[in-house]
Amino acid sequence: MKFLLYSLMLFTLCVSAERVRIYDTLGNEPVLRKAVMALAQEPDAPQYEISNVSTAEAAKALMAAQVEFVVCGSDNLPELEKKVLNLKSRRYASETLVVAVYITNSIDDIPLNFLREIFGGKVIAWRDFNGTGYMIDKVAPGEGVSGWFAFSRLVLKYQPPAKDVYLASKAGEPLVIASGRQHAMSCGIEQIRPDLRVKFLKVDGQNYQSGKYPLTLDYYLCWLNASPEKLTEKLQNP
């Protein structure tokens, strides 16, 4: 009888515990998970559940009140806004991917579609860009490394990188490699270091500090009826 009573009490506690469900359309977004881990340590914290889903699944769940929050990027936010009426959103982080080459390289600007062809494998040599026949040493962030989301979504458009792309295991590695190899082209997170012998290319005529630069991915928290203050506070904590 005591065991039955204890089980009933435990069941009641589990059922009554507040749940916060979050759908992540970016896929294992590390800033989100770090924020949720911090919130989960607080007294009387709710149960947080994070699932990786498509934009369409996230929109459907929001409209059906099956989820409190959705995390997305600036590339798929318009799709979410189109499908979910009265959607509220707040930007909590940005990721800018710079394209670096050795400082003596004559190229200064590159169209985004050419960048996709280089890292997608269609273009392998510098011939069409600076008149030399040298092979392009291609470097980019690997999966799980800062810059991977911007590289995967904005450059590759969710396609796998070419086999001749070296995928770095550390965020600073792509720019360091470009600094040491005359024929390298690296995509990496913006890091201003005077000791690096690199220059950053314009992409589609825009430099990385431009408000129209095409390789900046913003992260958004979206909701309909939830209260986002606690979560956004943790997401935006430096």
- Give the model confidence (pLDDT) of 170-211 as tens digits: 999 999 999 999 999 999 998 767 788 999 999 999 999 988
pLDDT for the residue numbered 5: 38
Question: Which of 152-161, 162-171, 188-197, 208-217 shows the lowest mean pLDDT across its residues?
Answer: 188-197
Tell me the average pLDDT across 133-160: 94
Name the band, by pLDDT with cuts 50, 70 and 90, for residue 131.
Answer: confident
pLDDT at 17: 54
Residues 75, 94: Cα–Cα separation, whole Å: 12
Span 57-75, mean pLDDT?
Answer: 96
Global confidence as pTM: 0.84
What confidence tens digit (pLDDT) does each residue in 14-28 have?
A: 443 589 999 999 999
Domains of the chain with CATH codes = 2-94+218-235 (3.40.190.10), 95-216 (3.40.190.10)
pLDDT confidence bin for 10, thresholds 50/70/90: very low
* Lowest-pLDDT range of 40-49, 70-79, 135-144, 157-166: 40-49
